[in-house]
Amino acid sequence: MRHLPALLLALATAPALAQPAYDRDAIGRIAEREKCRPFPGVLRSGGPPVRGFDMKYARCHWTLDPAVRHISGSVTSWFTATAPLDAVVLDLSDSLQVTAVQMHGAPVAFSHGPGDLLTINLPATLPAGQLDSLTVTYQGQPPTTGFGSFATESHAGVPVLWTLSEPYGSKDWWPCKDDLNDKIDSMDTYVTVPLGNRAAGNGLLMGGDTTGNQVTWHWRHRYPIDPYLVGVAVTNYQVNEQYAPIATGDLLVLTYAYPENYNDAVNGATGLLPTITLYDQLFGDYPFAREKYGHAQFNWGGGMEHQTMSFVGGYWPEVLNHELAHQWFGDKVTCSSWAELWLNEGFATYLSGLAYEHLAPVYWPIWKRGLVNNITSQPGGSVFCTDTLDQNRLFSGRLTYNKGAMVIHMLRWLCGDSAFYAGLRNYLDDPALAYRTATTADLQGHLEAASGLDLTGFFADWYTGEGYPSYTTVWSQDAAGAVAVNLSQVTSHPSVSFFALPVPLKFFGPGGQDTTVVLNNTVNSQSFNFHLPFTVDSVQFDPEIWLISAQDVVTQVGGPGAGPVVLLHPNPATDRINWHFSAPVQQHSVRVLDALGRPVLHNSAGAQSLDVSKLAPGQYVLEVQGKQGLMRARFVKQ
């Protein structure tokens, strides 16, 4: 059910490009796939270590056969009591069977379930600050939650097994403390599989020991890791090693590919090398430089950012860039609650755009315009996720991914490049956040410190607030060159009455002259006056696509070059909207567009009045096609 469609196969088998090819469907595909993850419906929130202990280390022994949906093994967890501790509570699916729990080599009492909880009663109270360990031995058939936490399929007739735990699926296949805010400080995994298979894992491969017809692959990871970022995949992988130049030396880039896709995989990894160098330069050292970055292939149409070893369904540049970006945003610094998932996904999406900006700039404006069009295709929705129990909302491509990415882009516009990148590097390197978790307030604090700005209003409008502005720009220029501009806006959602933003306008004159003026728009219907040394022919709103806005209208009034404008009344309207023109116009046709740009009324006659009584309340644009061109004006239906 998740085999690649023909188009994607064609993309996956295309020769490697020196620059990443623009992939217009990649974002939607990533979001579609990520939203299909298992979702048992548990809301986790941020905070200090809960349950009275802090995870320090895990040593996992797993026996897996990709042809069989089954796991057996043991997990030894080292932890420090943060308060006097009588019992250790771990997350583990009730579908699995715990055969023993041992502490100091002796069995200890436990109860398993209901509610996927494993409660281990310690033989004696552990004092606060004390480090200790216990080992859980278990086996069974992992449950099928969502469609990815523990999957067995095949490729080219060969069995493949993979895990994909985000957001709540870790307990489906191993006992852990599944809490975003308690990363395991380091871990070793020993994965025993039938001879002929390789196991992909987190960290550095320490070796493979063959015993009889089985081989045990040992992966060692010496960085803090959240349980949902732990991944294992098993099949007859063919391995490729390359190196990416980064500030601290050469980074091992490891590829575990299906043999039948080996060449595509190597080309994909080669194409990613400049992006690794780019992100390393922009956002500081690759976070896991002492180990590696890698890809392991699985049967998805998207990817998953398992720490140091992303699982990818193919080798599309935008997906590879997205999962790589997560190593900084998501893995090194993880959202502290799923409600703030944009701290992972908004950044990963934005960084895939930055790869276009720096490495394939022809696609950069197309990419931004595509995001804005998607974001403004509906009037509401916040970046902040108000309902993490709603799978479609949590992994919403429009809100968590795309709006999150464009909100980051607008923060760059507000802060300027220097403060923006400095603030992000400080956020990533903050000892309280690095290799830990962060909140949106942490991000805001670092950007404010770097820029000197108060971003409270911005985050209220764009993070918790909903919707976007639609601007009307009315401008004129007199014979002496004095330019007057009036900026007004209507908003698409009542949660925000006005979006305060610096607004760029590009003024074009004869002979290829142009200049861009940034207006600090702080109130609605604000007037600006300045001088331009050339006669302005036309004005372009937000020429470089810094802002989320839609249905913007630019109108010239007065002046020698101004054409006629359409004037509406009454506005707001209830039953009828009437109009006339500032100069004689030969009117061909009239239509009314709703807030999403969809035509809702037409009038091909010469009448200058329309019945709007049946329109839903909201904002509309009246568009007149006349002999002199297109004229637009905005009105509100009450």
- Report the distance separating Cα 149 and Cα 15, nearest Å: 32
Structure tokens given for 621:
């644009």
DSSP E strands, 367-522: 436-438, 469-477, 482-491, 501-508, 514-521
Query: Which range, of 88-96, 255-263, 340-348, 366-374, touches Zn ion by CB under 5 A?
Result: 340-348
Output the CA–CA distances (angstroms, integers) from residue 390 to 58, 167, 220, 395, 405, in the order listed: 31, 12, 35, 9, 21
Q: Which is nearer to Zn ion, 116 or 345 (CB)?
A: 345
State the nearest-atom distance from the C-beta of 326 to Zn ion, in Å.
6
Cis amide leading into 572 (omega within 30): yes
State the nearest-atom distance from the C-beta of 331 to Zn ion, in Å.
11
Q: Which is nearer to Zn ion, 345 or 594 (CB)?
A: 345
State the nearest-atom distance from the C-beta of 188 to Zn ion, in Å.
27
State the nearest-atom distance from the C-beta of 304 to Zn ion, in Å.
8
Beta bridge partners of 622: 592, 633
Query: Which range, of 204-212, 220-228, 347-355, 626-634, touches Zn ion by CB under 5 A?
Result: 347-355
By CB under 5 A, the residues from 364 to 393 that bind Zn ion are: none
- Report the distance separating Cα 399 and Cα 417, nearest Å: 24
- Helix (H) or strand (E) holding 254, with range, is strand 249-257
Give SS3 for 125. Answer: strand
HEC profile of 493-537: CCCCCCCCEEEEEEEECHHHCEEEEEEEECCCCEEEEEECCCCCC
Q: Which is nearer to Zn ion, 291 or 323 (CB)?
A: 323
State the nearest-atom distance from the C-beta of 30 to Zn ion, in Å.
6
Q: Which is nearer to Zn ion, 291 or 345 (CB)?
A: 345
Query: Which range, of 45-53, 348-356, 497-505, 536-544, touches Zn ion by CB under 5 A?
Result: 348-356
- Report the distance separating Cα 309 and Cα 389, nearest Å: 28
Q: How many residues does the chain have?
A: 638
State the nearest-atom distance from the C-beta of 439 to Zn ion, in Å.
19
State the nearest-atom distance from the C-beta of 25 to Zn ion, in Å.
15
- The one-letter code for the residue type at 109 is A
Give SS3 for 120. Answer: strand
Q: Which is nearer to Zn ion, 27 or 60 (CB)?
A: 27
Q: Are 577 and 635 in contact (CB under 8 A)?
A: yes
Q: Which is nearer to Zn ion, 345 or 442 (CB)?
A: 345
Q: Which is nearer to Zn ion, 80 or 337 (CB)?
A: 337
Query: Which range, of 214-222, 258-266, 337-345, 586-594, touches Zn ion by CB under 5 A?
Result: 337-345
Give SS3 for 486. Answer: strand
DSSP label at 457?
A: H
Q: Which is nearer to Zn ion, 345 or 466 (CB)?
A: 345
User: Does 160 sit near Zn ion (CB under 5 A)?
Assistant: no
User: Does 399 sit near Zn ion (CB under 5 A)?
Assistant: no
State the nearest-atom distance from the C-beta of 345 to Zn ion, in Å.
5
Q: Which is nearer to Zn ion, 37 or 198 (CB)?
A: 37
- Report the distance separating Cα 579 and Cα 571, nearest Å: 10
Kind of pairing between the strands at 609-611 and 576-581: antiparallel
Residue 608 burial by CB count (10 A; 0-12/13-18/19+): exposed, middle or buried? middle
Structure tokens given for 200:
């992909």
Q: Which is nearer to Zn ion, 91 or 318 (CB)?
A: 318
DSSP label at 109?
A: -
Q: Angle CA(111)–CA(112)–CA(115) in degrees, nearest 5? A: 130
State the nearest-atom distance from the C-beta of 395 to Zn ion, in Å.
9
State the nearest-atom distance from the C-beta of 269 to Zn ion, in Å.
19
State the nearest-atom distance from the C-beta of 303 to Zn ion, in Å.
7
Q: How many residues bind Zn ion (CB under 5 A)?
A: 2
Q: Which is nearer to Zn ion, 348 or 406 (CB)?
A: 348
Give SS3 for 205. Answer: strand
Order of strands across the sheet that contains 618-626: 599-603, 587-593, 618-626, 629-637
Q: Which is nearer to Zn ion, 65 or 345 (CB)?
A: 345
Q: Are 477 and 535 in contact (CB under 8 A)?
A: yes
Select from 238, 290, 280, 242 the least CA-distant residue to 261.
Answer: 238
Query: Which range, of 64-72, 154-162, 280-288, 344-352, touches Zn ion by CB under 5 A?
Result: 344-352
Q: Which residue is nearest to Zn ion (CB)?
A: 348
Query: Which range, of 338-346, 371-379, 470-478, 576-584, touches Zn ion by CB under 5 A?
Result: 338-346
Kind of pairing between the strands at 204-211 and 618-626: unpaired
Q: Which is nearer to Zn ion, 35 or 56 (CB)?
A: 35
Query: Which range, of 143-151, 177-185, 343-351, 453-461, touches Zn ion by CB under 5 A?
Result: 343-351
Contact letters for Zn ion, residues 193-232 (x by CB under 5 A): ----------------------------------------
Q: Give the side-chain half-sphere CA count within 13 A for 428.
A: 25
State the nearest-atom distance from the C-beta of 314 to Zn ion, in Å.
15
State the nearest-atom distance from the C-beta of 217 to Zn ion, in Å.
26
Cis amide leading into 114 (omega within 30): yes
Give SS3 for 275. Answer: helix
User: Does 325 sit near Zn ion (CB under 5 A)?
Assistant: no
State the nearest-atom distance from the C-beta of 322 to Zn ion, in Å.
6
Select from 590, 609, 616 the least CA-distant residue to 601.
Answer: 590
Q: Which is nearer to Zn ion, 182 or 345 (CB)?
A: 345
Contact letters for Zn ion, residues 447-486 (x by CB under 5 A): ----------------------------------------
Query: Which range, of 66-74, 150-158, 246-254, 341-349, touches Zn ion by CB under 5 A?
Result: 341-349
Query: Which range, of 167-175, 236-244, 345-353, 460-468, touches Zn ion by CB under 5 A?
Result: 345-353
State the nearest-atom distance from the C-beta of 440 to Zn ion, in Å.
17
User: Does 351 sit near Zn ion (CB under 5 A)?
Assistant: no
User: Does 348 sit near Zn ion (CB under 5 A)?
Assistant: yes
Contact residues for Zn ion, defined by CB under 5 A: 345, 348
